[in-house]
A and B are shown apart, each in its own frame.
Chain A
Amino acid sequence: MSHPVQAAEFLQDAAKSKWHDETLWFVRDKRDKISHTIPEWEQLRELASKIKDNVLGNLDTYLEDFERNASKNGIKVHWAKDAEEHNSIVLSILQEKNCKAIVKSKSILTEECHLNPYLEKSGIEVVDTDLGERIVQFLNQPPSHIVLPAIHLKKGDISKIFHEKLHTEEGNEDPTYLTQAARIHLREKFLGAKVAITGVNFGIAETGEFVVCTNEGNADMGVHLADVHIACMGIEKIIPKREHLSVFLRLLARSATGQSITNYTSHFRSPSAGRETHIILVDNGRTAQLGRETFRNSLKCIRCGACMNTCPIYRRSGGFSYESTVPGPIGSILSPGLDLKKYSTLPFASTLCGSCTDVCPVKINIHEQLYAWRQEITKAQGTSGKSLSMKLGNGIFKSPLAYKISGTLMRAALKTLPDSLIYNPLNSYGKSRDLPELPKESFKDWYKINRG
């Protein structure tokens, strides 16, 4: 299905879509308030953007540095060119350890690779330990937002799911009560898992360590209880030095949720005695995106989700309307690089309002890339009805006479056609909007008479 169809469906439930819009606007507003308390906020964004420019320009070197330093620290480094390789590396480690149940903290990369269904097919129980992710996992849904995975659900929905899955009291919607039930349930899973999987927010080339940010401490809980830690990292998550980390940490949580910092910012440098740490460096289309000059800086993304919270489209259409792992504006510039045809409506799911670009902590020119993807998509689609009408448009607008004739005809036609035809269901502009009242003359006509 296309984005407009999904969006229209989401909007059918007017009360819920309004609630969704207001909830995410609240997060955006929190982000505004806290970012305004940092006088050097705009310099921080500029600095972060430049550090990422340097990273993308020297990614090969930094990755090799990272591999060398991480190996020295006793971390086992793996390389995966795509999702399939990534998943099979994870599975082979699990098989080697004879592990049948794992816990996993939030990792959008593993969503992108569809790791859960892959492992489940091999008989492995995967438990997502982030509360929001666990909720959507119970429903067999993907996250609808990269930071707030269950933002499309209300308290009542969660109460129902927990009643069914965790046998909480029917109708009890108290968040403290429900969270407590989740904690008890997850504790069991933490204790039973030999292997813990986490994502990676930052990999530091200089030291070979990596950093994982969570609010729930679930990454730490999993890793510290398990014998083996597997960290899955997209290759663009590298930063050169540890001193650069503070720039990103100051931006990340403020942009994401309006907090000054995530509750847990955990550094993993080397495994404890008798334990193993693996890191899988995943390409999965990133090198191809790096090679597209117009779109390469989409790889600066630190996955804060601020562009989703600010996007007037995302807030009113929900994350699932994008049908891509990363939804919202950033998803709409990343996904076409993975499958142009499948995601062809996403760059058009925007008014090019530019709010995403201004909110982005690493200054990705998101709305300009949406515009640029539109040009690529129409080229790939070849000659269509729309393309012909656009060529016709150029023919009219390059000739003043043709423009004048078509304008006069249009105004005349709109005046004489019955409303039933103008407001035909096929003419979706007029479906819920009146057209302007038509003047008797154009400005050009007026000018000729009055000033000509």
Chain B
Amino acid sequence: MKPDSPHIALFIPCYVDQFYPKVGIATLELLEKLGCKVSYPQGQTCCGQPMANAGFERNTVGTTRHFIETFKEYDYVVAPSGSCVLHVKEHTPAIPELEKEQAELHHKVYELSEFITDVLKVERIDGSYPHRVGYHASCHGQRGLRLASSSELNEKPFSKARKLLENLVGLEWVELTRTDECCGFGGTFAVTEEALSIQMGKDRLEDHLVHGAEILTGGDMSCIMHLQGIASRNKQALQFKHIAEILNEAIS
């Protein structure tokens, strides 16, 4: 994509902004390396997902209105999160007088890996990353945005993230026993169903560890934050990175 090409807004989820600025930086740098003109609208806050999933979608009108106002002028909106993108597309209340802008936004907001494969039409990323990498498919990206084939469905296997990672020189893709089982984060679920959430996280980590993963990556930092938190508590030797960090490091 040329520098005078469409104007892309970076949508950085609130918890990434606050806890993982390095993921925001990697996303920005990666898109720039791929030739994009990217801006970060500084008035952005949160998409409202935590409230909506807790059963309070009706209380997210102000948040949603603000989101649309912030991003409506851009050609594309790209986020390093499948979960927040899914929320914007499917779980935001209809905003009176912004119906047109809202409908348009639903078609121009993308998760990072699908933006690279589907909009930028990048077939392969040239770079090197000599590590054994386990990929955690976030459910909202996987089954919500259909970023990869779902193990339940009888469909041709595909994965947008795998397509980008697999060509990196030296990267070994770790095959898991349960390719797309949930990690147990689930937003407020992590607190309200704490025991289950922890057990699900432990089981996911185990799958990566027994298959010799050195780095666990994924498209959603929320899953990774949860998994990293459990691994750190249990002193398990596994590194954690967002896919944007790996791709950004690999290219440079």
Contact = CB atoms under 8 A, between A and B. Distances in A.
Given A11-B199, A394-B60, A448 B191 contact: no
A358 B152 contact: yes
B107 interface: no
A231 to B, nearest CB: 32
B44 interface: yes
A434 interface: yes
Contacts of A354: 139-140, 142-144
A170 to B, nearest CB: 34
Interface in B194-227: 194-196, 198-201, 203, 225-226
B184 interface: yes
Helix, strand, loop or mixed for chain B's interface?
helix
Interface in A301-322: 310, 312-313, 316-317
A50 interface: no
B72 interface: no
Nearest to A351: B186
A407 interface: yes
Interface residues of B, number: 77
Interface string A341-368: 0000000111111110111000000000
Contact of A352 (B46, B59, B186, B194): B186
Nearest to B154: A41
A27 B211 CA distance: 23
A390 B50 CA distance: 9
A259 B166 CA distance: 36
Interface in A423-452: 428-429, 431-436, 438-439, 441-448, 451-452
B18 A442 contact: yes
Given A348-B193, A446-B25, A433 B198 contact: yes
B21 A441 contact: yes
Nearest to B39: A451
A206 interface: no
Given A42-B153, A377-B55, A358 B143 contact: yes
Contacts of B43: 400
Contact of A374 (B42, B55, B143, B190): B55
B94 interface: no
Given A358-B153, A395-B62, A403-B46, A316 B196 contact: yes
B14 A432 contact: no
A7 B193 contact: yes
Interface string B166-191: 00000000000010111011111111
Given A407-B18, A451-B40, A443 B203 contact: no
B18 A351 contact: no
A263 B234 CA distance: 47
A353 B150 CA distance: 11
A264 interface: no
Contact of A443 (B25, B142, B151): B25
B144 to A, nearest CB: 6
Interface stretch (A30-38, A51-59, A178-186): A30-38
B66 interface: yes
A451 B12 CA distance: 15
A390 B198 CA distance: 24
Given A355-B152, A433-B229, A428 B191 contact: yes
Contacts of A441: 21
Nearest to B240: A436
Contacts of A379: 58
A439 B182 contact: no
Contacts of A17: 199
A451 B28 CA distance: 11
A397 B66 contact: yes
A333 B106 CA distance: 27
A38 B143 contact: no
Given A351-B139, A377-B55, A435 B229 contact: yes
B65 interface: yes
10 contacts: A351-B182, A371-B53, A374-B55, A391-B59, A398-B66, A433-B230, A439-B19, A447-B24, A447-B28, A448-B42
Q: Which 3 A-B pairs have the closest CB atoms?
A: A351-B186, A398-B62, A433-B229
